[in-house]
Amino acid sequence: MTSIKKTSRPVYSRRMSATERFSLAINELYRYNIVALAEGRGSITRKELQAAVDIAAKKNPGARVRLKSFLGFAKWVDSGIAPVVHEIQVPHWDCFSERGADFMETSFDALNGGAVCDLYLIPGETTRIVVRVLHAAMDARGLQHFVKDVFRILRGEQPIGSSSTLTDTDVRLKFQDKIQGKQVEMECMPILQPSAHEGETLSYVWRRVIIDKNIGNMLPKMAVFLAQYARKHGEGEVGFTIPVDMRGLREEINTTANMTGYLRVKVDPDSTAKSVMQQINQGIKSYLDCIIPPIFKWVPWIPLSILGKDMRKNADKLLYAKNKVIPSGGLVSMGMFKPGDYSCPQFNATTCIGIPGSVGKMNVVIMNHSDHTEVVFSTPAAFNKDGQLDRLIEEFQQSMSA
């Protein structure tokens, strides 16, 4: 009798790009995660959510990868272990700041083979689902893709899934001959003035703001507002990094990988929201998001301990003073929130926000809703020890209501 040999699919694996390696080094300096929070009403159970996560992770193995090998040989490999759903109670967290959200304070331990993603179900009158992911393994759009698949499964639909092994480096290389020009050079000052922080451990704070109307073109408007605010309290150039999602724009793929390119946008004293948007569009047209920084050639071969040590040594200069390395902030627009994408029979989503990664001088994530706009600001704690960030937010709210 002839035996039939079963063939198994190869284990999902992709090389770690230089962008991801930088993110992993930042995570060693301070926790560098992306966090999504969905709020709504319903009675979904941890068991139901975990079952959907198990299936979604199988279809999107990038959510269950572990770090293997080292230096330029490093890669993300499917462990076969889905992200864990934890059910918790956080009675002292109002979901408007980091205060009371101690469960978010832990770091993913990728260097020791740890997971890169987890979820938290917080039941109550308002049910909350929090998803965290290590930025070195997944970007915001990748997380969004994975979470949408979880809810497709909960609705009884087929998940889209992704098994792409492309990296952002692969995509950048494809368009090197289309790049016209270079990223704008600028010596950027912080938006806020830091309080004394010498000898203190680096930490970040964040604040959630709700504007009671849907505001179009919020990203360029935010850039102009922040630049004008910065110039009230200091002198210097103001500029921002704007992430560019390479999915669809540069490559027709669904992937959970870190598939993000970046533009640098300078905001002059006479800049308007329209001129900032034109600058962004011109940068995309010129393929500036596909530029490969020269240092990326060496990053894969530099030990993380050395990368982290260099970042730690220069942290004060990079975060709290004018410099050409780190812009004044990073601005992210996650587009329009569609309740149906994050709802199922057991959970009716009413809002969704993204909590920025703890990196740089300031980061802002914007999510538009049909009847309001959600904005989350994040900065090093030294920029709010004396209420600096809170005062900026108060002025921002006043400017949006004018």
Quick one: 73 exposed, middle or buried, by C-beta within 10 A (0-12, 13-18, 19+)? exposed
Q: Looking at residues 116-127, what average pLDDT do you find? A: 96
Rg (CA), the chain: 21
In contact, 136 and 258? CB cutoff 8 Å = yes
Pairing of strands 33-42, 127-134: antiparallel
Q: Under 8 Å CB-to-CB from 135, ≥6 apart: which residues? A: 23, 26, 27, 32, 33, 34, 258, 357
Strand, helix or coil at 377? strand
Contacts by 364-367 with C-beta closer than 8 Å and gap 24+?
A: 364/222, 364/226, 364/329, 364/330, 364/331, 364/332, 365/140, 365/332, 365/334, 366/218, 366/219, 366/222, 366/331, 366/332, 366/333, 366/334, 367/334, 367/335, 367/337
Q: Which domains does the chain have, with CATH numbers?
A: 13-401 (3.30.559.10)
**Chain CA centroid to CA 3, Å:** 50
pLDDT at residue number 8: 65
* CA–CA dist 100, 90 (Å, integer): 7
Give the whole-number percent of the chain exceeding pLDDT 90: 88
Q: Looking at residues 363-389, what average pLDDT do you find? A: 96
pLDDT in tens, 202-244: 999 999 999 999 999 999 999 999 999 999 988 999 999 999 9
pLDDT at residue number 171: 95
pLDDT at residue number 1: 46
pLDDT at residue number 211: 95
The pTM for the full model equals 0.94
Q: Which helix (H) or strand (E) holds 296?
A: none
> Is 11's pLDDT higher than 50?
yes
pLDDT in tens, 78-116: 999 999 999 999 999 999 999 999 999 999 999 999 999
